[in-house]
Chain A
Amino acid sequence: MSTMNLEPVPGRTDEMIVNMGPQHPATHGVLRVVLGLEGERITRAVPHIGYLHRNHEKIEEARTYPMVIAYTDRMDYVSGTQNELPFVLAVEDMLGVEVPDRAKKIRTIFFELYRLASHLVWMGTAMLDLGAISPFLYTFWDREIILGIVEKTAGARMLPNYYTFGGVRRDVHPDFFKDVADFLDHMERRMVDYEHLVLESPVVHARTKGVGVLDQERAVARGVSGPVLRASGVAYDVRKAFPYDAYPDVEFEIPTSPDGDTYARFWVRFQEMYQSIRILRQLLELTPKTGPYKGRAPARLKPPAGERYRAVENSRGELGVLVVSDGSDKPYRVKHRGAAFSNLQIIPDLFVGAKFSDAIAILSSLDPVFGEIDR
């Protein structure tokens, strides 16, 4: 067997080696963690990834620039257009394409809608892992409305392939702004329910408070980002640090929590949803109803030789892409910096010393999506 498997330590007969996954329903896909268990306590943990590896980065080297956008969608399949944006921004920078102001705002509306959709999926599945089934049904109900709005404009629900160099592929549906405003009213009512069901539930408190504490130094050293990093008290958000698209025009806060435990990560995601609603409300006011939705991009896309790194703050953290161009119509190299992939690296730190049932709660608070981790 491979060297990454745990070998029993001679003389330690009380340690049991257990395989969690890859078909475990609480691992959010195909994560396999080999655990050394001493009773209920985890003594060692080795995560194994790669069961969903589809060779994205190599395939993208053999495709022209517009084709790659369709492939980036397939990484983090829960958060749709958010994956397209770093690649689109990087290539726009290299080409020097001007993006109309309205196109930037439409892009940001979709970006935040998908953040809400992704956090709703997280909330449902996290509560499912903790043993509550109803929140899962409710959050998917609300997510269905978001996906319906997206489908009306972009033509697909989860993998829309909607952004393009210089803007978006087609103008929004005439009902789009009304639909989003209606959904935000609906969502604000629902957030009250979710707060009662999730954040104020004594069961959630008992299962998550003080569990899986990630201190600030270790969070920074391990390179985690997104809500996991902000729950450890570091106020780093790509939207504020390196603003892109319409984020300089809107006001929002970065919620942080000093605790660093699983409950803090739940709490930060909740506050992010409130901030998303706030951003969307402002953007609905700011976006003109008609106008250009696409700038002038050259028909033959051949960026000059060079490289460019652009990052966005997606639902899981800093999603970056490094595009290296050799002057031809195909990228020489596309390297994705996955947020969920980087956040998964703290599993051995957080699992060791925790109880087995806490491991499930910790994993759900990291919100991994294996399409992006294994790529």
Chain B
Amino acid sequence: MSLLQEVWQAVKAIGTGMATVHKRVYEEAPTEFYPYVKPELPPVSVQSLALVENEDGSERCIVCLQCERACPAQVITIERHRNPEGKGFLIDRFDIDLVNCMYCAACVEACPVSSIVTIQDFEMSTYDLQTLKADIDFLHEQARRARQWYSPKFGVELRTDDGRIEKAPPEMQPGGLAEILKPAEEVDS
């Protein structure tokens, strides 16, 4: 290759590079300026876990221990005792170690009553890891703060401004809506 050809090659390569840079400068990026603009996450996004209460403040969780058995990281610890009046169990302790949790949402898949749900609150940075050893109050508080949450059994649910819980409209629901709605009707009846 002659010297002239080499110079032409170099000029051409720099030219294509600069042209590409120029093209991309005016394109809209798929990312957000995070601290100033909050990203809108899809409702199925697994960012943190919460324990939902019913509208009247009673416990949705029936303490069946399914989530404890399904957890791959084995970070859920539940203690229970039999309800002295009526049937079922009462919670003594419901801890999730959110430090070691790997956010696979296996517990949410396993829950038969959609009590444990995934929420989109991802701002969990802390100076003290002990604050992420979540107990039942922490998990309830997470659910009270959340505006929407997801579980495979009930789909996406919303908390209205007056504190009621209602099912999100079909356009907000992720795929497999028919399968999501069917078990919900069974529970309601």
Whether A138 sits at the interface, judged by CB under 8 Å, is: yes
Q: Assess the A170–B175 pair: CB atoms within 8 A.
A: yes
**Is A151 in contact with B45, judged by CB distance below 8 angstroms?**
yes
Closest residue of B by beta carbon distance from A170: B176
B30 located at the interface, meaning its Cβ lies under 8 Å from any Cβ of chain A in the complex:
yes
Contacts of B131 in A (CB 8 A): none
CB distance from A130 to the nearest CB of B (A): 13
A205 to B179, CA, bound (A): 54
A203 touches B31 (CB 8 A): no
**Chain B residues near A248 (CB, 8 Å)?**
none
| A138–B24 CB distance below 8 A | yes
Q: Is A148 an interface residue (CB 8 A)?
A: yes
Asked if A159 and B102 sit within 8 Å, CB to CB, the answer is yes
Bits for A140-163, please: 1 = Cβ < 8 Å to B, else 0: 010011001001111110010100
Q: Which residues of B contact A154 (CB under 8 A)?
A: 44
With a cutoff of 8 Å between Cβ atoms, the chain B residues found around residue A305 in the complex are: none
| B16 x A196 contact (CB < 8 A) | yes
Q: Which residues of the other chain, A, contact B45 by a CB distance below 8 angstroms?
A: 151, 155-156
Query: Is B21 interfacial (CB-CB < 8 Å)?
Result: yes
Count: A-B pairs, CB below 8 Å: 94
A169 within 8 A of B: yes
Name A's interface SS.
Answer: helix
Let me know if A10 is at the binding interface, CB within 8 A. Answer: no
- The answer to whether B104 and A197 have CB atoms under 8 Å apart is no
Give the distance in Å from the alpha carbon of A173 to the alpha carbon of B17 in the complex.
37
Rounded to whole Å, the gap between the CB of B105 and the closest CB of chain A is 6
Give Cα distance in the complex from A153 to B150, angstroms: 12
B172-186: CB near A (< 8 Å → 1, else 0) gives: 001111010000000
A145 touches B30 (CB 8 A): yes
Within 8 A of A (CB), among B1-56: 6, 9-10, 13, 16-17, 20-21, 23-24, 29-31, 41-42, 44-46
What's the minimum C-beta distance from A1 to chain B, rounded to whole angstroms? 34
Least Cβ–Cβ distance between A214 and chain B, in angstroms: 27
Residues of chain A lying within 8 A (CB to CB) of residue B72:
63, 67-68, 70-71
In the bound complex, residues from chain A placing their C-beta under 8 Å from that of B89 are none
CB-based nearest A residue for B39: A148
Report whether B70 and A66 are in contact in the complex, using a CB–CB cutoff of 8 Å: yes
Give B48-72 interface residues, CB cut-off 8 Å to A. 70-72
Per the bound structure, the CA–CA distance linking A372 and B152 in Å amounts to 30
Query: How many angstroms from the CA of A113 to the CA of B23 in the assembled complex?
Result: 25
For residue B110, which residue of chain A has the nearest CB?
Answer: A66
Interface residues on A, range: 35 or more
A 157-177 binary contact with B (CB < 8 Å = 1; else 0): 001010000000111111010
A134 at the interface (CB under 8 A from B): yes
Q: Are A155 and B21 in contact (CB under 8 A)?
A: no
Which residues of chain A are near B71, meaning CB under 8 Å? 67
Contact pick for B106, options A145, A161, A176, CB 8 Å: A161
A152 contacts which chain B residues (CB < 8 A)?
42, 44, 174
In the complex where A170-B176, A196-B20 touch, is A159 in contact with B104 (Cβ < 8 A)?
Answer: yes
- Give B151-189 as 1s and 0s: 1 = Cβ < 8 Å from A's Cβ atoms: 010000000000000000000001111010000000000
CA gap between A176 and B175 in the complex, in Å: 9
Give the distance in Å from the alpha carbon of A141 to the alpha carbon of B177 in the complex. 31
What residue of chain B has the Cβ atom nearest to residue A60's Cβ? B72
| Interface core residue of B42, B70, B71, B73 (most chain A CB under 10 Å) | B42
Within 8 A of B (CB), among A270-319: 293
* Contacts known (A144-B31, A170-B152, A172-B175); A70 close to B21, Cβ less than 8 A: no
The residues of B that contact A200 with a CB separation of less than 8 Å are: 13, 16
With the chains together, A196 CA to B21 CA distance in Å?
12
Given the complex, which residues of A lie within 8 Å of B118, measured CB to CB? 155
B174 touches A169 (CB 8 A): no
B138 interface residue, CB < 8 Å from A? no
Measured between alpha carbons, how far is A151 from B105 in the docked complex, in Å? 13
Residue among B21, B70, B71, B102 having the largest count of chain A Cβ atoms under 10 Å: B102
- Complex contacts, B174 vs chain A, CB 8 Å: 152-153, 170-171, 173
CB pairs A–B below 8 angstroms (26 shown): A67-B106, A70-B73, A70-B102, A70-B104, A74-B102, A134-B17, A141-B30, A141-B31, A145-B30, A151-B44, A152-B42, A152-B44, A155-B44, A155-B105, A155-B118, A156-B45, A156-B46, A159-B102, A159-B103, A161-B104, A161-B105, A170-B174, A171-B179, A173-B44, A173-B175, A197-B16
